[in-house]
A and B are shown apart, each in its own frame.
Chain A
Amino acid sequence: MTDATTPAIRLTGLRKSFGAVDAVAGVDLEIADGEFFSMLGPSGSGKTTVLRMIAGFELPTAGSVFLSGQDVTRLAPFERDVNTVFQDYALFPHMTVQENVEYGLKVRGVARAARRAQAQEALASVRLEGYGRRKPSAMSGGQRQRVALARALVNRPRVLLLDEPLGALDRKLREQMQVELKQIQRDVGITFVFVTHDQDEALTMSDRVAVFESGRIAQVGTPEEVYERPASPFVAGFVGTSNVFTGDTARSLFARDGVFSIRPEKIDISSDGAPGVVAEVVYAGPVTRYVVDLDAGSRAVVVSQNRHNGSPLVARGDRVHLSWHDEHVVEIPPVAKETADA
C-alpha cells in the first residue's frame, strides 16, 4: 500500500501524436486516490486518448504515466492494476455473462469455485443476479453496461477507467445509471476516471472535472469551480451555456477592457440595467429562455424559472433591461491557453 498522499494517477507532460496530428498535446494531471474524476470535452479533444494511455492501449509519444507512484508508461495493459469499461462494452460474445465476469479472475489463475462466487457477488452488486447463464446478445443495452461494469469491478482494480459508458443508453436509463455509478463508486472506494462529452454527466457525478480542449486541459476543478469560475471562454461555452462579452460590448457594460462571462440563470429581466430588445422567447417547461439583443452590441441569453403560471414575462420585440449582481460576473483571464497545474 502507498500512503494517502500518493496520487492514484499522475500524468506528466503526456503527449500523443498520430502522424502530424497531436491528439494529446501536453497533459499534466494528478488524480487522488478514491476520487471520481471526469475528463470532459468535445470529441477529438484528446480525452479518450489520455484514457487509453492510462489503460496501456496507446504508447505516449512523450511524457509518463504513474499509477500509485509507479511508472507504468511502457507496461502492457495486463501488467497494470487498471480496468476499463468500454464505450461499446466489448463483452465477449461467445461467453455467457458469468464467463465474461469471471474472465479477469480466470486469466489470473483464481480457482473455479472462488471465481464463481466472486463473479456472482459482482453481478449481484449491479443487480444482475440470475442472469449469469445468458449470452450478452440476449441482454438489453443497460444490462450489458452493468455486465461490463461487473466484469471490471470483480478484479478490484485500484483505478476504473470508463470511456463514455453511458453514451449508448437512452436518456432515462442514463440518468438512472449516473446515480448508480456514483453509488457504486462510493461503496467500493475505487478511483473512477470517467470520460464524457456530456457536461451534465460530468457536473453531477464528479468530485473534480478536467475540461479538455484540442489535446490540452483547459481547466481542472470541482464542478462548481468549473461552472462558476470558467478559466477560458471555451470552458464557459462548453460547460453549460454562458454569455461571454468582449471588446466594445464589455467596455460599455463593465466600463473596462476584458473578457467577461455571466451564466444565463444569473441574469434578471428587470426595470433597469442594460437595455435591449427581446429577439426570441423559448419556452422549455421548467424554464423559459429569452434571447436579448443588447443595445451595447451583443446577444445575451437569459434563463428564468417558470414559477408563475401562464404566459412568459415578456414577449418578442419588447424592450427590456437586464440586470445582474457583480459577484456573478466572471472575468476570464486573457490568455487561457496555458494550463495551470491541478
Chain B
Amino acid sequence: MILSPSARWVLRAVMALGLTFIYVPLLLVLVNSFNGDRTFAWPPHDLTTRWWAAAWENDGARQALLTSVQAGLGATAIALVLGTMVAFAVQRFRFFGRDTVSLLIVLPIALPGIVTGIALDSAWRSVMGDLGIGKGLFSVVVGHATFCVVTVYNNVLARLRRTGVNLEEASADLGASGFQTFRYVTFPLVRSALLAGGLLAFALSFDEIIVTTFTAGPGVTTLPIWIFNNLFRPNQAPIVNVVAAVLIVLSVLPVWLAQRIAGPEAAAGRTRG
C-alpha cells in the first residue's frame, strides 16, 4: 500500500512516541542500576557497579532469583509436556469435543491473572490443603503452568498444521515404525517450535506477579514479588534497580531467542514444496 508523505510522517512520529514510552523508562532503570548517587540524580554524576555487587551480596535477592528460575523451569517443563501432547491430539486426531478442548487450553492466557489467582488460592485452601499438599513452590509452578501451556501449545500446533501429515505418511511408507517416525521426522520438525514455545513460557513465568501472589506459600518469594516488597524501602532502592535490570534482561533474552528460532524456520517451511 502506498501512503501519502504526510501520512507516512505522522505514522512514523506515532510509532517513535510509542516506542519511546515503552523503552525509555526501561533504559532508565538499566542506567540507574549503575548510577553512583543514592537518590538517582539525573544525569548521573558517576557510574558504579557498587549496587550490582550489593545486589549479588543480598541474600533475599539471590534467593528470589533462584526461586524464580526454579518456578520458571518447573512451569516450562509442565507446559512442554502438556502443551505438546494437546497440540498433537488436537491437530492429528478427530474426537468429540476437540474444538472445546482447544478453546479451554487457550483460555487461561486471556483470563485475568487475578481470577486465576483467586481460583487457585481457594482450590489450594479447600482441596489441596486437605490432601496434605500445602502452598509452596509447587503451587506457584502449577499456577504458572496454567498459562505457560498456551505458548507451547500454540507454537507446536502451528508447526504441526504447517508440516501436515504427508511427511509422516512418507516415513511410514518407507518402513518406519511409529516411534521411528516420531524420532526421525516429527520431532526434528517440531523441535524449534518446542524451543520457541518453551522460551516464551519461561519468560511469561519469570515476570509473573499476580498469580504468584495468590499461590506462593510462606517463604516463597519470586523476583517480581521481592521487587514489589522492597520497592518502597529507600535503603533497598538501588538494589531494586539492579534486580529490575536483571529481570528485564532475563525476560527479553528468551523472547528474542524464540523469535530468532521461529523466524527463519517459519520462512523455510513456507517455501517448501
Q: Is the CB of A88 within 8 A of B174?
A: no
| Residue of A57, A93, A107, A151 touching B169 (CB-CB under 8 A) | A57
A290 in the interface (beta carbon within 8 A): no
A77 in the interface (beta carbon within 8 A): yes
Q: A88-B166, A93-B268, A137-B271 are in contact. Are A83 and B177 (CB under 8 A)?
A: no
A94 in the interface (beta carbon within 8 A): yes
A73 in the interface (beta carbon within 8 A): no
CB distance from B166 to the nearest CB of A (A): 4
CB distance from B168 to the nearest CB of A (A): 9
Q: A83-B173, A90-B170, A92-B167 are in contact. Are A107 and B271 (CB under 8 A)?
A: no
What is the CA–CA distance of A84 and B174 in the complex, to the nearest angstrom? 8
* B interface residues, Cβ below 8 angstroms from A: 166-167, 169-177, 180, 184-185, 188-189, 268-269, 271-273
What is the CA–CA distance of A285 and B273 in the complex, to the nearest angstrom? 35
User: Residues 193-214 of chain A: 1 if any B CB is under 8 Å from the residue's CB, otherwise 0?
Assistant: 0000000000000000000000
Instruction: For A148, give the chain B residue with the smallest CB separation.
Output: B170
CB distance from B189 to the nearest CB of A (A): 6
Residue from B170, B174, B269, B271 whose CB has the most chain A CB atoms within 10 Å? B174
Q: Is the CB of A108 within 8 A of B175?
A: yes
Q: Is the CB of A155 within 8 A of B166?
A: no
Q: Is the CB of B176 within 8 A of A137?
A: no
Q: Is the CB of A92 within 8 A of B170?
A: yes
Please indicate the chain B residues that have their CB under 8 angstroms from the CB of A106 in the complex.
184
**Which 9 A-B residue pairings sit nearest by Cβ, starting from the closest?**
A104-B174, A90-B170, A107-B176, A77-B172, A90-B166, A84-B173, A88-B273, A78-B175, A107-B180
How big is chain A's contact interface, by range?
Answer: 20 to 34
| Residue of B170, B176, B268, B271 touching A84 (CB-CB under 8 A) | B170
What is the CA–CA distance of A88 and B272 in the complex, to the nearest angstrom? 10
User: Residues 261-289 of chain A: 1 if any B CB is under 8 Å from the residue's CB, otherwise 0?
Assistant: 00000000000000000000000000000
Q: A86-B166, A91-B170 are in contact. List 12 more A-B contacts (CB 8 A).
A: A57-B172, A77-B173, A78-B174, A83-B174, A84-B169, A86-B169, A92-B171, A92-B184, A103-B171, A107-B175, A107-B177, A107-B184
Q: Is the CB of B268 within 8 A of A137?
A: yes
CB distance from A155 to the nearest CB of B (A): 7
Q: Is the CB of B172 within 8 A of A76?
A: yes
User: Residues 303-316 of chain A: 1 if any B CB is under 8 Å from the residue's CB, otherwise 0?
Assistant: 00000000000000
Please indicate the chain B residues that have their CB under 8 angstroms from the CB of A56 in the complex.
172-173
Please indicate the chain A residues that have their CB under 8 angstroms from the CB of B175 in the complex.
78, 104, 107-108, 155
| Residue of B173, B185, B269, B271 touching A92 (CB-CB under 8 A) | B185
Q: Is the CB of A90 within 8 A of B169?
A: yes
Q: Is the CB of A137 within 8 A of B184?
A: no
Q: A83-B173, A103-B174 are in contact. Are A89 and B184 (CB under 8 A)?
A: no
Instruction: For B191, give the chain A residue with the smallest CB separation.
Output: A94
| Interface pairs (17), CB distance under 8 Å | A56-B173, A78-B173, A78-B174, A83-B173, A83-B174, A84-B169, A84-B170, A88-B273, A90-B169, A92-B170, A94-B188, A94-B189, A103-B184, A107-B174, A107-B176, A137-B272, A155-B175
Please indicate the chain B residues that have their CB under 8 angstroms from the CB of A84 in the complex.
169-170, 173
What is the CA–CA distance of A78 and B173 in the complex, to the nearest angstrom? 5
